Chains A and B, each alone.
Chain A
Amino acid sequence: MTHSALEASGPPPGAAPAARVANLTKTYGTGDARVVALDDVSLDIRAGEFTAVMGPSGSGKSTLMHCCAALDRADRGQVYVGEAELTSLKDKALTQLRRDQIGFVFQAFNLVPTLTAHENITLPLALAGRKPDQEWYDTVVGAVGLGDRLSHKPNELSGGQQQRVAVARALVSRPMIVFADEPTGNLDSHSGAEVLQLLRRSVDEFGQTVVMVTHDPVAAAYTDRVVFLADGRVVDEVRRPTREVVLDVMTRMTAPSPDRAAD
């Protein structure tokens, strides 16, 4: 892969990109109903960083994540996860990539109801026919703090516990990158904080790359970098965000602006 785009956006020293999108465009519908979800987006996701993608509804943040996570295809442009260029891959290769290189935490319905927490955590590995690395598994489960509830089925776990199991599942296969889609959207603030701390620790302690789509400034404050999307474009970026800074940017974005209207 070329490093030119990466260098142009100025990576911090020592950080290789875990994922990268270049000139990504995606539209839905035709004619009057045509909606541009992504409009020539280029972005690097740096390895070992916790990145938040924010933006108002319809800004394209979810579409961007889905394209990066091999769940959706763009109309134009490239998506790289590690060395792999996704747009050229067939369904089977994409599935294997999701299984081996990507971890997922969804907003809700993260777990297979017929499997225990333990079985859910090891599901991607099991689907690949691999055994989990026991030491790493113990580390992850220890970090998630669910030691005594591993044999429980999802319906015997609280919402926060379920999300922590989902995080453990995302981490246990040592993926290139973990995508979290509003992981705290359905949780109370206390459980949400636990899940966010867990994601933060996975970055700090395990060097995991994490991308989180959120609309919650509090959640965004846990990350290293916040990328703001509006109308399918990257419009702003904040490093080492705080809740206040994020709120400020969001307020500016949603306020009617003559500049943006002309854009």
Chain B
Amino acid sequence: MFRVALKSLLDRKLRLLLSTSAIILGVGFVAGSLVFTDMLESGFDKIFSRAVGDVVVRDKAGVGEFGTTTDKTVPASLVADLAALPGVARADGNVSNQSTFVIGRDGKAIGGQGAPGLGLNWNDAPGQGGQPVVSVVDGRPPERAGEVALDTRTAERAGYDVGDQLKLVTSSSTEDQLEATLVGTFEFADGGTLAGASLTAFDTKTAQQLFLGGRDEFNDIWVSAEPGVSQDQLRDTVAAALPAGDVAVTGEQEAADNAEGLGQALSFIRTFLLVFAAISLFVGAFLIVNTFAMLLAQRSRELALLRALGASTRQVFASVVAEAVVVGLIGSTLGLAFGLLLAKGLQALFGLVGLDLAGQSLVVSPATIVASYVIGVLVTVLAAVMPAWRTRRIAPVQALGDTVALPESSLLRRFVGGLVLLAGGVALMALGLLGDVPRAGWITLAGAVAVLLGAAIASPVLGRPLLDGVRRLFSAGFGTVGQLAGENTRRNPRRTASTASALMIGLALAGAVAILATSGKATTATVIEDTFAGDFVIGNVSNQPFSSAVADRVAEVDGVTQVMRQRFGIGSIDGDFAVLGGLDPAGLGPVVKVDVVEGDLADLGPGSVVIDSSFADSHHLHVGDPVTYTLAQGEEDLEVAAVIEPAPLLALPATTLDGLARLGFPQEDATVFVAGPTASVDDLEAAVGDNPFVTVNDRAGLVQQQNDQADQGLLMIYGLLALALIIAVLGIVNTLALSIIERTREIGLLRAVGMTRGQLRRLVTLESVAMSLLGTAMGLVLALFFGVAVWRAFRDDGLTELAIPVLQLSLFAVAAVVVGVLAAVFPARRAAKLDVLDAIATE
């Protein structure tokens, strides 16, 4: 039986290719996501395992949550003390800063779109086990003020060679820009990547000048062990000698901590990518189900013959499932290969948004290979089981009959089942989005999946009126060819509808994203219009803090009446990433309007916070309750002074500027709101100085800046959703190609009685367009439903405006027609190329 299945598979190479294409794409995306994130991880791992000393010494609050540097340091004198300890080979002090950027030749900063710009002091301290961390590639290390060394990748991106003069910006310097000579370039000794971060090295004195206010201190100290001394032994020795308040950590522990912190950031990227991989697989599964249903329908006679020859229903079923396993294996293998290409593509895509991984080689872990095969084979087999089960109802006697049809489930039962699932999904979504239940996200997701599945299952009936309309439209516009195309799409409503369903899912998601994004933009515009009483905003989109000297100078500009600084620190609440804002309460009202729900803003002081009502609801907080932040130095309770309506311009919860500084965060501004109706942009820009990270925006510019930022994120999401659409298009190609094989004789007849090749191509194209129109229509309806439902859920969290992007959704519809036309190209050509005589003679 298995040989029969295998042979019949190989006899249909084209069909095999078509049925595997969905698996290739789906598995490819999973594999690509895994390879890409492994690639990211290995790049960081190399640095983390190398770029730590045997033992690291620092103030116990020297590193904040999520790896942020604080201003807590250790005195320089400690270096010599530690170096003198027994078992210590050497000790080196390190200075570091996470906001130092090189200005490229084109005047733009290198990096800065999320990746840190690391500034540090050069030393040749060895990493764990005495291995060198970095090696000089060209030139020499910086030795005095006015000299810097860069990592090779940053020097390359900026376009500088050793000996060139270059400019830098750093958040902690009061200077606009620093000038320095590039004296050397270096790289990590074993080729680790910084993923877009840049590394700028100064001599120690200059680094202390820039980052530590000139104090002779270090952020941390690396202590290297003498041969034969373990990290634990060394740590114990060092710890015993430390003054109170300082801690010693082994290199292994430090590397693991760093990796864990980063792992959380990377797991977000991995989850993000895997969500799209799951969508691709979900869409791909439709394609596989459809393909197997069609292939089995075409082979019904063959299967009936097998039954007549004595094969049991079990054997026939098993042979179909075996076929699925083979298809799954082939698809997974090709998918894995495609995944490698995709990882390269993702590398380029993420490079565009600042996560530069150039030069990083692909990492294919055994887990990726196993996951690819398991997912590929499992999805294929599950998708094939449904149509395969129906083969059990093929009777042997059908082999002798004229027509053999694979029995199909009743359309009515299917319709009712679909509607029930749809209704259940809507109920789940309502519960998840509007109800107060645990795991609301998962409930909503389950609801959304049920809605999509329900709509897909009910679509053969739901889509009927639309297909009727399309048929009438086609008949009116394209005569007999149009009528034939319309009839053909209604011929097998299940097939047409499930093909269209793949497109429906892609469009539903893209449309919902578009609706939410547009609503977000509209909300932003309204928020700025309604709540920003000032005139200018100084800041940047990437949230790189900048020197507080900027706001000092802006305050002096003619016409400026008030300056409101906003800063933020990073900590965690209940283990979750949490921002702690710092603001100037004097600006609340005159510069940024707020509506107080509870409490009094006058009570806001260094030990208290202002929160918004949605945060208050989700954390069940009232005035006087404590908000507990985990910060570098441990847990800090901040009392709620006031609850206000959501204020998207503010980073909330927020304490005062002093309060933030007291908790150890650097005194650097993230945003400066400026009131000054008569101030001129030119004067403000002159006061801000030449720093590519700091821009001056008026109100319109602020809206624009927010929108641009949203658009960049959207572009990425659309790029990934496009993959789901590509699979959907493949589905149309697949269905058309298979239905043309099925209809070979009919096509021969049409050609014989006078249908020209052009007319035949038009026929196939119209069928394709009909399917894509059906998918688009259902997709847009669901997009509206999803978009509005999610919007409604977030309305109370500040997403106040609902905006339907009519133009964009219309463009999606137009694109769907174009997609339909394009999807038909290959099947139409195949149909037109059929030899009339051969076609008529086909069994």
Contact = CB atoms under 8 A, between A and B. Distances in A.
A, B in one complex = yes
B746 interface: yes
A95 interface: yes
B619 to A, nearest CB: 62
A57 to B, nearest CB: 14
Interface string B405-427: 00000000000000000000000
A214 B758 CA distance: 33
Interface stretch (B152-160, B479-487, B496-504, B823-831): B479-487
A123 B753 contact: yes
Contacts of B752: 69, 71, 98, 104, 106
Nearest to A73: B837
B487 A114 contact: yes
Nearest to A181: B840
A22 B484 CA distance: 39
Nearest to B746: A112
Output the residue of A95, A123, A128 with the most chain B CB within 10 A: A95
Nearest to B832: A91
B511 to A, nearest CB: 32
B484 A95 contact: no
Contacts of A69: 752
A124 interface: yes
A216 B564 CA distance: 102
B836 interface: yes
A98 B751 CA distance: 9
B122 to A, nearest CB: 76
Interface residues of B, number: 24
Output the residue of B746, B753, B758 with the most chain A CB within 10 A: B753
B756 interface: yes
Contacts of B757: 91-92, 95
29 contacts: A66-B837, A69-B752, A71-B752, A71-B836, A71-B837, A71-B840, A91-B757, A95-B751, A95-B754, A98-B752, A99-B755, A109-B749, A109-B840, A112-B484, A112-B746, A112-B749, A113-B491, A113-B746, A114-B484, A114-B487, A115-B484, A119-B483, A123-B480, A123-B750, A126-B479, A126-B480, A127-B753, A127-B756, A129-B479
A100 B754 contact: yes
Contacts of A104: 752-753
Interface in B767-801: none
Output the residue of B479, B481, B752 with the most chain A CB within 10 A: B752
Given A71-B840, A127-B755, 10 more contacts: A92-B757, A96-B754, A96-B756, A98-B754, A99-B755, A109-B749, A110-B749, A115-B483, A124-B753, A127-B753
A126 B750 CA distance: 12
Nearest to B840: A106
A178 to B, nearest CB: 12
Contact of B491 (A71, A114, A119, A127): A114
B481 A72 contact: no
B488 interface: yes
A38 B213 CA distance: 102
A106 B795 CA distance: 67
Interface in A50-93: 66, 69, 71-72, 91-92
Contacts of B480: 119, 123, 126-127
B840 A92 contact: no
B301 interface: no
A92 B756 CA distance: 6
B481 A127 contact: yes
Output the residue of A96, A114, A129 with the most chain B CB within 10 A: A114
Interface of A: 66, 69, 71-72, 91-92, 95-96, 98-100, 104, 106, 109-115, 119, 123-124, 126-129, 169
A69 B748 CA distance: 14
A111 B488 CA distance: 14
B568 to A, nearest CB: 66
Contacts of B488: 114
Contacts of B837: 66, 71-72
Contacts of B491: 113-114
Nearest to A72: B837
B181 interface: no
B307 interface: no
A144 to B, nearest CB: 16
Contacts of B481: 127
Contacts of B840: 71, 106, 109
A69 B484 CA distance: 25
B745 interface: yes
A49 B755 CA distance: 27
B756 A112 contact: no
A47 B231 CA distance: 107
A69 to B, nearest CB: 8
A114 B490 CA distance: 9
Nearest to A155: B403
A54 to B, nearest CB: 20
B614 interface: no
A129 B752 CA distance: 16
B62 to A, nearest CB: 77
A69 B840 CA distance: 13
A99 B487 contact: no
Contacts of A128: 754
Contacts of B758: 92
Contacts of A96: 754, 756
Given A72-B837, A114-B491, A115-B484, A106 B749 contact: yes
